[in-house]
Amino acid sequence: MDDTGRDSYDWGAIPAGEGRWRFRLWAPSEESLTLRLAGRELPMEAEEGGWFSLVAEAEEGDAYQYLLPDGSAVPDPAARRQEGGVHGPSLVTAPRTALPWAGRPWEETVLYELHLGTFTEAGTYRAAIGELDRLAELGITAIEIMPVAQFGGDRGWGYDGVLPYCPHNCYGNPDDLTALIEAAHERGLMVFLDVVYNHFGPDGNYLPSYAGDFFVEGRTTPWGTAIDYTKAPVRRFFIENALYWLEEFGFDGLRLDAVDHIRDTSEPELLIELAEEVHARLGGRKVHLTTEDNRNITYLHERGEDGAVIRHTGEWNDDFHNAAHVLATGEHEGYYADFSDDPLGHVGRCLAEGFAFQGEGGRGVPSAHLPPTAFVDFLQNHDQTGNRALGERLISMTDPERLEALTAILLLSPHIPLLFMGEEYGETRPFTFFAHFGDELDDAVRKGRAEEFAAFEAFTGETVPDPIDEETFLACKLDASRRESAEGRAYAERLRNLLDLRAHRIVPLLAGAAGHAGTLIAAEDGVLAVDWQLDGALLQLRANFADGPRDMPRAEGEVIHETGTPGAPNSSAHMLALIT
């Protein structure tokens, strides 16, 4: 096996030695296949199980496509680079070897989610490097990049990718992405990548034309035809993709998007096999896998007998966000309705036990047995901001004192916190949904976006921004003038102080924190009180979200942080008592 492990990949073009490359594609719907390589057309050899392969002389950068019997030319679905867009030739690309980097322990993680195209004015991999010093100085320890897999068109969120191995060239080339990761590591920052294994986008997905068995006939996800993960070649496609990003580029972890739509009856199921193979292959590095999953399940995140991660490290905790959002804004439509009956109680249960729903209404399972670091909490992220009709940020929808208290609760809890880009200085520009395919799909996106919000009471009379208009995309770019303003600097300084407290007072207590660490003391009449038994200390939260002053339940130890006046409306306090 070479340094990248790529010679064990089933899919794609990989070096075969002495200037030769092996090209391989699973095309069970076809009886023959031809490789078009640098102007030559070469018949491929049929293998068992629907595979076709060929070893041929090639050079770095050579263009290639697969020719189907009907004469159509398709890109390699495992292409590492494209000559242009998703419909054109792929490019022969040598494996990469990431520079050595041991990574960081999971308990040190403070995630910062960003979209490359709107994070900087230039919107490129290289431009993002210029912001890393600022983030590291704030106390951020990890950036999480929204999907970069190539999708149709030149702008979008990234969740409509069709070439999962190919970094989108609208942000730069693979060398530029490597430079970003290396620069982050030089500053002690981990880098996570958001990957989408639950569907393919609508523009440029050619798999159905030659590999119909890749999909489940008659079953769909919210975004298109469901994928058949019971097929071995399909499983290898995604497992190899995870290994590719982690090994060749040196990403520290992956966020697996909407895994509740990865339905697999195999034993073991794909999500377990993927995690186990990642840890087996990369056991010498600290690698972290996180999931987004609205089922509120725990079996993917169970720990070993010694508390070690054996599969997935953490779960995005939408319950915490939804409850905190209702507590902050009073909104009650859509998925917020389930949390509007008792938002304070739901927030309290999330902080103490993980999920708010642990079987109630048929959703979820008990989660208190997991360590607090198994949950990734956030007040904002790309979905919860961008899926609003106008893309408003929380700063525009709630009282500043209440937001300050909630931010302290987020950053000083023993859960893993996530911030959305701009949140660190109180960004007010929106983050809305945007896309640009450049064809009839644009009209379908416009229509769908307008219809989505037509029935929402909160948006009656509002004009939903045109997701295809370039101005909608440009309006989402972070505002450097806001960041450098007196208000923005003061906002960032408060956040820096919180993250410094977290790093020095909370994080040292997390590595040994076990399940059943949290106890909900009170969540009524506006009073929120939670205690956590951590490794050698008792962390205590006391907050008041009532309209008037309240007496707080008794707490012990040193007050390490306060917002507002103790017991006053929209106040919070954190205490730490060492256990001897």
Q: Is 31 exposed, middle or buried (0-12, 13-18, 19+ CB in 10 A)?
A: exposed
- How would you classify residue 466: left for phi > 0, otherwise alpha for psi between -120 and 50, otherwise beta? beta
Q: Is the peptide bond before 268 cis (omega within 30 degrees of 0)?
A: yes
- Catalytic residue list contains 318: no
Residue 82 one-letter amino acid: Q
DSSP for 220-239, please give it. EETTEEEE-TTSHHHHHHHH
Contacts of residue 455, defined as CB under 8 A and 6 or more positions apart, other chains included, come to none
Question: Can you say how many angstroms the Cα of residue 92 is from the centroid of all Cα atoms in its chain?
Answer: 29
Can you tell me the distance from the alpha carbon of 557 to that of 544, in angstroms, rounded to the nearest whole number? 19
| Distance, C-alpha 443 to centroid of its chain | 28
Q: Which of the 8 DSSP states describes residue 507?
A: G
- Please give the Cα distance from 482 to 489 (Å, whole number): 9
Task: Label residues 134-146 b or e (16+ Cβ within 10 Å = b).
Answer: ebbebbbbbbbbb
* DSSP sequence for 287-306: -EEEEE-TT---TTS-B-TT
Q: Exactly one of 292, 318, 404, 427 is catalytic; which is it?
A: 292
Amino acid at site 156: G
Q: Which helix (H) or strand (E) holds 207?
A: helix 207-210
Structural contact between residues 251 and 182, judged by C-beta atoms closer than 8 angstroms: no
Spot the catalytic one: 107, 160, 248, 257: 257
Is 487 noted as a catalytic residue in this protein? no
Active site residues: 257, 292
